[in-house]
A and B are shown apart, each in its own frame.
Chain A
């Protein structure tokens, strides 16, 4: 089937197309540069056309989502809709059901989302949830930062064996890349403790976060994975944590990049949660300048923000000691999910309120990061869904980024507490994003950061993953009209995935199966064998399940998209 999207205003930053009126053509699921006269014409005159959205960091599938959904029935009852002829019923606000997750991303013009924290032990279940989430390609990252085998290799500085371990474990868990969460801290939680800073060793291990992050980053580059290490540093959410964040970035500065498809050797995730000054919540202020300056002056780091949306939401992270602190602060309920030998997660509901000084400060710090990082290719739009707010708020964040007037209005009329401007420089930042920059932080940038070679751009041969929004960029002043921007980006006029129209005028018209992206490393066979020989005795001794039941068999990925990389190349 051939199609022409006719007369749209196209934003395709990867191809340096910034608001040109032109046709976009696709055939048999791929973008093409010409079609026959029989092609079906979709009139999108003066509407925004972009590649489909790519969310570089969210939590949408896996064990902690399940715990969250089970222990927050009060969230599940929000957003309930009846089933229709093609849709299942929806439920949930911050932790929507799997089908709702797929539908809602699809309605916003998204086509791909990264599930940022898969414990290998729970990978099977994560893939089952991915298979229940329609209309979205999902990119799982595997957790390595507190894995006992990784701690061992890092301690002994055996980078080649660590690389072999990563190659083997990505294949076992069918994951795309390496995620690190509070390195050594989640292991310390096994003893009811945390680590503080990059040089505080995990109890009984005598290995530090610095050693773990550095070793994993070196191994990641030895393999030449399409994505860099994806780092949630130590001290998340603690006042005065920005020096830890800067030291973590600095620790990876000299690691040599071994990839032609991405620019960075480290992706710092939900930077907002890692950009706090002060010594306690009493005197906390913004550390956004330090983070933004570092990112502006160094090319080895990219970030996503983790913007607070001022909603009641659910926090969930493989940073269990942090969640315990949060539980003690909030007094609400708490769930803990330990994953033997690998990680530990916590789940706590949070009400981010514009009346609360701390939440308003967090809101402002996130926006500062967006506005202070000069190069939009280095920063991505996320809420660390659902941690800082649900992903359905992305259009609202876009409206804040495009309108200084709206930001000032929120501060002036006290929709946010005065800490938002007294303790940050947000009030002085007049920058407003344009549509091309929005397309960069939601599409082209994330695609580059993940080394995607089939999406995130309207390049001939790429997947026909396209979003059209009912916004005429030549006829709207986003600065004045934030509501229309939010509305326009909430409900795509068309969402097209692999050449199929999934959404029309904000409604799902077709439901398709998701793809799962994972990375198959070649050329490490010898090291992998050595590693397996070495870890199997410990595996058998310490894990409560058998290895045969641990690995994710192919049948768990009915629609895989495999990225093959040749290690070292």
Chain B
């Protein structure tokens, strides 16, 4: 095992980019290697050690044996864990855009909030955010129609708009509330939101499951109420209580399933 610890010395107005600092790239690095490294900031590069004190303990033969602990405020550090395939990153603070985007394996734990695009196009591994996250968590790259297709994202706080946009695999759990259009364009996969949802989950979804345990503000017209199911099994998981089951989005002949807690969503029953 090798533990790499970053202790922040100062922050930057312009975001640092950390996509080269993933376990897959740095597992063999020693302290001296980090001291040589120039980190991209805007259109230039600067010494990483201007911003962090870095400690390296132990040794590693492969990225699986890496634990990176990032202490401080990473609210202006983008691409943490982007494309990582193995190992562990723990951030003790908030993170900027694209944390865990395109990640293929390993784990990221953010003890703080995450900006937009967390877990974008994720293929595997796990991303856990203890705080809130913003727009486009677990989505596609802007313009693309291929979103997250594997792995797990867990958000302990609230999530923003278009959570799991174009989802085609993997699972997203939100313990708090969620804004509009969760699971828009999704074709497969699983989204569970324990808190309240403002409106329009599942727009243009073709398949997959969305479970809402809180109250839904407004439903899209393309969802057809099917039945009330007690203790359903959804995506291989057991749920207790009564759920209203909808299918849609009929605008696209969709076979997606939307499950709403029946108690909290009586106002939608007819």
For A333, give its contact among B43, B141, B145 (CB under 8 Å).
B145
Say whether A77 faces chain B, with CB atoms less than 8 Å apart. Answer: yes
Asked if B142 and A74 sit within 8 Å, CB to CB, the answer is yes
Q: How far is the CA of A77 from the CA of B144 in the complex (A)?
A: 11
Say whether A83 faces chain B, with CB atoms less than 8 Å apart. Answer: yes
Query: Which residues of the partner chain A approach B143 to less than 8 Å between Cβ atoms?
Result: 71-75
Asked if B141 and A73 sit within 8 Å, CB to CB, the answer is yes
For B141, give its contact among A71, A77, A332 (CB under 8 Å).
A77
| Cβ < 8 Å to B, chain A residues 302-351 | 332-333
Q: How far is the CA of A73 from the CA of B142 in the complex (A)?
A: 6
A sample of 16 cross-chain residue pairs with beta-carbon separation below 8 angstroms, ordered by A number, consists of A71-B143, A72-B143, A73-B141, A73-B142, A73-B143, A73-B144, A74-B140, A74-B141, A74-B142, A74-B143, A74-B144, A75-B143, A77-B141, A83-B43, A332-B145, A333-B145
Q: Which residue of A lies closest to B144 (CB)?
A: A74
Mark B122-158 against chain A: 1 for CB-CB distance below 8 A, else 0. Answer: 0000000000000000001111110000000000000
| Cβ < 8 Å to A, chain B residues 66-116 | none
Q: How far is the CA of A145 from the CA of B144 in the complex (A)?
A: 33
Q: A73-B143, A74-B142 are in contact. List 12 more A-B contacts (CB 8 A).
A: A71-B143, A72-B143, A73-B142, A73-B144, A74-B140, A74-B141, A74-B143, A75-B143, A77-B141, A83-B43, A332-B145, A333-B145
Query: Which residues of the partner chain A approach B142 to less than 8 Å between Cβ atoms?
Result: 73-74
Report which residue of B142, B143, B144, B145 has the largest number of chain A beta carbons within 10 angstroms of its beta carbon.
Answer: B143
Q: How far is the CA of A333 from the CA of B166 in the complex (A)?
A: 13
Nearest 5 interchain pairs by C-beta? A74-B144, A73-B143, A74-B143, A74-B141, A73-B142
Query: Which residues of the partner chain B approach A75 to less than 8 Å between Cβ atoms?
Result: 143
Q: How far is the CA of A53 from the CA of B159 in the complex (A)?
A: 53
Mark A346-381 against chain B: 1 for CB-CB distance below 8 A, else 0. Answer: 000000000000000000000000000000000000
Q: How far is the CA of A71 from the CA of B143 in the complex (A)?
A: 6
How far does the Cβ of B79 sit from chain A's closest Cβ, in whole Å? Answer: 13
Query: Which residues of the partner chain A approach B144 to less than 8 Å between Cβ atoms?
Result: 73-74
Q: How far is the CA of A332 from the CA of B143 in the complex (A)?
A: 11
Overall SS of chain A's interface? loop
Q: How far is the CA of A74 from the CA of B141 in the complex (A)?
A: 6
Q: Which residue of B lies closest to A332 (CB)?
A: B145
| Cβ < 8 Å to B, chain A residues 49-99 | 71-75, 77, 83
| Cβ < 8 Å to B, chain A residues 385-416 | none
Query: Which residues of the partner chain B approach A74 to less than 8 Å between Cβ atoms?
Result: 140-144
Q: Which residue of B lies closest to A82 (CB)?
A: B43
Q: How far is the CA of A488 from the CA of B214 in the complex (A)?
A: 62
Query: Which residues of the partner chain A approach B141 to less than 8 Å between Cβ atoms?
Result: 73-74, 77
How far does the Cβ of A398 sit from chain B's closest Cβ, in whole Å? Answer: 31
Q: How far is the CA of A71 from the CA of B43 in the complex (A)?
A: 24
How far does the Cβ of B204 sit from chain A's closest Cβ, in whole Å? Answer: 11
Query: Which residues of the partner chain A approach B140 to less than 8 Å between Cβ atoms?
Result: 74
How far does the Cβ of A313 sit from chain B's closest Cβ, in whole Å? Answer: 14
Q: How far is the CA of A72 from the CA of B141 in the complex (A)?
A: 10
Q: Which residue of A lies closest to B40 (CB)?
A: A82
Q: How far is the CA of A112 from the CA of B213 in the complex (A)?
A: 62
Q: Which residue of A lies closest to B141 (CB)?
A: A74
Q: How far is the CA of A73 from the CA of B140 in the complex (A)?
A: 11
Q: Which residue of B lies closest to A74 (CB)?
A: B144
Q: How far is the CA of A330 from the CA of B79 in the complex (A)?
A: 32
Q: How far is the CA of A357 from the CA of B141 in the complex (A)?
A: 29
Q: Which residue of A lies closest to B142 (CB)?
A: A73
Q: How far is the CA of A72 from the CA of B146 in the complex (A)?
A: 13
How far does the Cβ of A330 sit from chain B's closest Cβ, in whole Å? Answer: 10
Q: Which residue of A lies closest to B121 (CB)?
A: A74
Q: How far is the CA of A83 from the CA of B42 in the complex (A)?
A: 12
How far does the Cβ of A334 sit from chain B's closest Cβ, in whole Å? Answer: 12
Q: How far is the CA of A75 from the CA of B142 in the complex (A)?
A: 10
Q: How far is the CA of A77 from the CA of B19 in the complex (A)?
A: 15
How far does the Cβ of A138 sit from chain B's closest Cβ, in whole Å? Answer: 27
How far does the Cβ of B20 sit from chain A's closest Cβ, in whole Å? Answer: 13
Query: Which residues of the partner chain A approach B43 to less than 8 Å between Cβ atoms?
Result: 83
Q: How far is the CA of A174 from the CA of B19 in the complex (A)?
A: 46
Q: How far is the CA of A333 from the CA of B204 in the complex (A)?
A: 14
How far does the Cβ of A91 sit from chain B's closest Cβ, in whole Å? Answer: 13
Q: Which residue of A lies closest to B146 (CB)?
A: A74
Q: How far is the CA of A333 from the CA of B144 in the complex (A)?
A: 9
Mark B41-55 against chain A: 1 for CB-CB distance below 8 A, else 0. Answer: 001000000000000
How far does the Cβ of B185 sit from chain A's closest Cβ, in whole Å? Answer: 11
Query: Which residues of the partner chain B approach A77 to less than 8 Å between Cβ atoms?
Result: 141
Q: Which residue of B lies closest to A333 (CB)?
A: B145
Query: Which residues of the partner chain A approach B145 to less than 8 Å between Cβ atoms?
Result: 332-333
Q: Which residue of A lies closest to B140 (CB)?
A: A74
Q: How far is the CA of A333 from the CA of B140 in the complex (A)?
A: 14
Q: Which residue of A lies closest to B43 (CB)?
A: A83
How far does the Cβ of A461 sit from chain B's closest Cβ, in whole Å? Answer: 45
Q: How far is the CA of A75 from the CA of B141 in the complex (A)?
A: 10
Report which residue of A74, A75, A77 has the largest number of chain B beta carbons within 10 angstroms of its beta carbon.
Answer: A74
Q: How far is the CA of A74 from the CA of B142 in the complex (A)?
A: 7
Q: How far is the CA of A311 from the CA of B43 in the complex (A)?
A: 31
Q: Which residue of B lies closest to A77 (CB)?
A: B141
